[in-house]
Structure formats: C-alpha cells, structure tokens
Amino acid sequence: MELLTQDEYKSIAAGLTLPTGAFIDGAFRPAISGKNFETVNPATGEKLADIAACDAADVDFAVEKAREAFDDGRWSRMHPSDRKDILIRLAKLMTRNARELAVMESIDSGKTIYDCETVDIPETIHCLKWHAEAIDKIYDQVSPASDDHIAMVVREPIGVVGLVLPWNFPLLMLAWKIGPALAAGCSVVVKPATETTLTALRLAELAMEAGLPRGVLNIVPGGGADVGEPIGRHMEIDMVSFTGSTVTGKRFLTYSAESNAKEVVLEMGGKNPAIVMDDAENLDRVAAHVVNGAFWNMGENCSASSRLIVHKDVKAELLERIAHHAKQWNIGDPLDPETRMGALVSEGHYNKVCGYLEQAENVVIGGNANKGFVEATVVEVPGNHSTLAREEIFGPVLSVIEVSGFDEAIKIANDTDYGLCASIFTANAKRAIRGARAIRAGTVTVNSFGEGDITTPFGGYKQSGFGGRDNSVHAHDQYTQLKTIWIDLADDADEAID
C-alpha cells in the first residue's frame, strides 16, 4: 500500500471514531462499575478517549457469555471450513479498513505510521488468514492398532481462553493469539494492555461484521490487577496465554495454581544477544542488521537484540558502521511516514528507560531523550554483569560487550536469565551451526536479525517462555487438547469387559 503524507494521516486521525466500551457478547458496553480510564497519545500527551475500566464483575460476565457460546457449540462445533470462511472474511474486512487501523494503532501506542502500515497491520491480517487456512488441514489421527481395537486421537478446542496482551504490538499480538484460538474453536476473553486498547475493540467490531457469533470474542479493557488477575484466577477459564514481562508472566502460574490449574502459556522478556565474530562478512550489512534488531519499534520488542557481543578485532569498525546506520533511525512525529522512531508507549515507560540511560557511563552513540522520545543509543558496558547488560530495558539502548573468541561469546550469550532470541554473524558455517545449537534460545538467526515468520514457532527458553509457542501449526497445540477414543473390536468384547 502506498504511504500517505503526514497531513493526510493527521486528517485521518482527526476523523477517527474511537471505540470506548468493553466488547462483551457481541456489543459495546460500559463497565459494570460505570468507571472509565483515559487513553492518551504518547507522542503528544493529548487525551484520546475515556475507555471502560472493567473489573472482576465484567470478567465474570464475559466469561459467562464465552462459556455459553462454547458449550452450545455455535462456534466450537461449527464445521472448520465455516469457521475458516468467517475468519477469512474478518481478514478481508481488516484489509478494507487497514489504513484506519494503522492510524489508530499509531496514535494509541506511539509506534510509527511507517511500521503500522508496513508491518503491524499487514502481518496481523496475514496471521489471521494463515491460521484460518490451516484449521481444516490439521488432521486428527488413528493410532497404530491391533486387530482388536481402533483408537482415534482427536484434537478438541480447549474451551474458554483468557488472552492477556502487551502494548508493544497491540494488534499483532492479539492476532498471534486469537488466530489459532478462534480457528481451533475456542471462545476468548481478551485483556488488552491498558495503554493500547483501541484497535482490539475495533477488531472485535469487525469480527461481528464478518459473522463471528456473539460471545466468542470478548474484549475486557482495564488494569492488570482489575482484569488480568481475575482472568488468571477464573474457575471457568480453561487456559491463559500471556505476552508481557517475566515478572507479570510468573504471576499467572500462581493464579493458576491457586484456582483451577488452568493451562498457562507465557511469552515473556528477552535480553537477546547479537554475536559478531571476527570472520563476519560485510560488516556494513551486519551493522544494518544489528541496528534494526536493537532499534526497530524503539527497542520495545521482546526479541530486540539488546546485547552486542563483538570480537575485539572488528569492534571499532563495526561501531563506526553502526553509528552510520543509527543516524537513519530518525525521531519524529509518528504520523510522519519518514519517521523511523516514534514515542515510547507511556510516560511511565519513558521514565523507566531514561533511568537506564542515566546509568550509562560510556555512551558511544546517542544517549539523549526528550518528552517521550529516546535516541537510538549504543553504550559500551564493562562486562556482562552490569545492569545494562542484564536487565530488559525495552527501549532503544544497545549494550556492547567485547570478547576475544567464539567460546567466550557463546558463554556470555548464555549468561542471562532469558532465552528468547539470538543472532550470530560469522562466515564460518560450522561455527554458525555449533553456535546456534549451543545458545539456549527459542530462535537463533544466522547472519541476520529476526524472529522467523508465521510458519515458524516463536517462544523462549528459560525465563523467556513457558508452556507453548506462538505462530506456526504448533500454536494450535496451546488451544487444543488431545482426546483418545478407544474402541474395542474384539468379537468377545462384552466378555472382555467382565
């Protein structure tokens, strides 16, 4: 899609109708308490809307409606091909409304319109379509059996699912979860991040237009303690899938243990290493990847390459080239299509990132911050023990650690509580494969930065992930459970039971 001008985007933003109610049982509603919370544009500080501030009572209502929908089979027992048709209709409606969704996402989150138009919205649509297309092609199984029995292994939707979302890719993370959950036949209760609720509400409206039966997709806006915790502790929710910080993710294990032992899938933080060895080819290209990995989406990305582990012999040249590429990541109005770095998501998060910048003693590139915007920053750190090398900053801050050899690089890469993503830049194929195997992370890219695509599973080792994977057919495992149906075929079956 061709990009518009800044003025054209501003005019779309000014004309948007923003959804403000909770979306439960197919309709927008105020919170039962009547309370609201403000959502603001982090790039300007302007209030955008007052949104229903839900709590446990709204969660109960949404779960009741989701359970009703699941149990009467209006979606869970619909023929998979019919579910597919409705989800594809939703994807088409999103395509028709892509521009509006991109602008809404940008003003609500501070993300650049460039990213919203070229990545977030198209990837969201692709994700929904992909899972819809997959669902009538995933087969149940018949087990290898003796003559005396036949056993079927049937995949059933898990039931009512709670989805608790982060603010860094609001629509895309929603799609990563509702794509497979709805395709599988589940009913869902979604809690968007408080900072970024608007596009989830709009998507729910489009889903109704596409023909999704009421009660199947419910969006309950509100705070973590008010809505997230009641979802985690709900006795009628069968499974929760969460993306966000490790601290909050772990709480869901407690909620589950203290309620109904619901299944929990957690996609959490990262402190992802990019290893650059002395034999890496084309340092300019490597620098472009490292910069993209560190600064894309203002570093508000769980898979951001936030630790550069670089061989001492190539460090100086690589940093020079990184400085050159970092200059192209200009800060500006997120609605200007030329802008590559927008505003951080909230004042609170901006202050947190600035707190880390204050700890930086050896700033090589950038280091400045102003009113919600932070420059692409590269910091040399004394070693992997420093705070900047260990904690997830979730901002555009790249910490550089110098090493003298491959084994040392791998050891440092693994010296972290996290294990989400990693990349290795080397021309030596054996090193690349040995490194990829040795690094304890869910995704390792070689001579590139990335997190794979919809066809490949995404999730973390160690404290980056728990219980399952997003993306690919493996994502369907989260939202389904296996049932064995065993049938005795022996002539004397009745006697055998006695």
Ligand X SMILES: NC(=O)C1=CN([C@@H]2O[C@H](COP(=O)(O)OP(=O)(O)OC[C@H]3O[C@@H](n4cnc5c(N)ncnc54)[C@H](O)[C@@H]3O)[C@@H](O)[C@H]2O)C=CC1
Q: Which residues bind ligand X (CB under 6 A)?
A: 164-168, 191, 193-194, 223-225, 228-229, 232, 243-245, 248, 251, 268-269, 302, 349, 352, 392, 394
Near ligand BAL in 41-60, by CB under 6 A: none
Closest approach of Cβ 348 to ligand X, in Å? 8
Using rule CB under 6 A, residue 196 touches ligand BAL = no
List the single partner that 225 binds among ligand BAL, ligand X, none, CB under 5 to 8 Å by kind: ligand X
Q: Which is nearer to ligand BAL, 112 or 168 (by Cβ)?
A: 168
Q: Which is nearer to ligand BAL, 83 or 111 (CB)?
A: 111
Name which of ligand BAL, ligand X, none residue 303 binds, using a CB cut-off of 5 to 8 Å depending on partner kind: ligand BAL
Q: Which partner, ligand BAL, ligand X, none, binds residue 451 by CB below 5 to 8 Å per kind?
A: ligand BAL
Complex with ligand X: residue 302 or 331, whichever CB lies closer: 302
Full 3-state SS string of the chain: CCCCCHHHHHHHHHHCCCCCCEEECCEEECCCCCCEEEEECCCCCCEEEEEECCCHHHHHHHHHHHHHHHHHCCCCCCCHHHHHHHHHHHHHHHHHCHHHHHHHHHHHHCCCHHHHHHHHHHHHHHHHHHHHHHHCCCCCEECCCCCCEEEEEEEEECCEEEEECCCCCHHHHHHHHHHHHHHHCCEEEEECCCCCCHHHHHHHHHHHHHCCCCCCEEECCCCHHHHHHHHHHCCCCCEEEEECCHHHHHHHHHHHHHCCCCEEEEECCCCEEEEECCCCCCHHHHHHHHHHHHHHHHHCCCCCEEEEEEEHHHHHHHHHHHHHHHCCCCECCCCCCCCCECCCCCHHHHHHHHHHHHCCCCEEECCCEECCEECCEEEECCCCCCHHHHCCCCCCEEEEEEECCHHHHHHHHHCCCCCCEEEEECCCHHHHHHHHHHCCCCEEEECCCCCCCCCCCECCCHHHEECCCECCCCHHHHCEEEEEEEEECCCCHHHHHC
How far apart are CB 437 and ligand X at their closest, in Å?
A: 24
Q: Is residue 394 a contact point for ligand BAL (CB under 6 A)?
A: no
Among 39, 41, 194, 243, binds ligand BAL (CB under 6 A): 243
How near is the Cβ of 301 to ligand BAL at its closest, in Å?
5
User: Does the footprint of ligand BAL cover residue 301 (CB under 6 A)?
Assistant: yes
Of 30 and 223, CB closest to ligand X: 223
Residue number of the CB closest to ligand X reads 228
Question: Least distance from C-beta 22 to ligand X, angstroms?
Answer: 14
Crossing angle (nearest 10°) for helices 170-184 and 80-96 = 160
Q: Which is nearer to ligand X, 191 or 202 (CB)?
A: 191
Binding mask 138-177 for ligand BAL (x = CB under 6 A): ----------------------------x-xx---x----
451 binding ligand BAL? (CB under 6 A): yes
* Catalytically annotated residues: 267
Q: Does 303 bind ligand BAL (CB under 6 A)?
A: yes
Which CB sits closer to ligand X, 9 or 176?
176
CB of 315 to ligand BAL, least distance (A): 27
- Binding at 366: pick from ligand BAL, ligand X, none (beta carbon under 5-8 Å per type): none
Q: Which residues bind ligand BAL (CB under 6 A)?
A: 166, 168-169, 173, 243, 301-303, 451
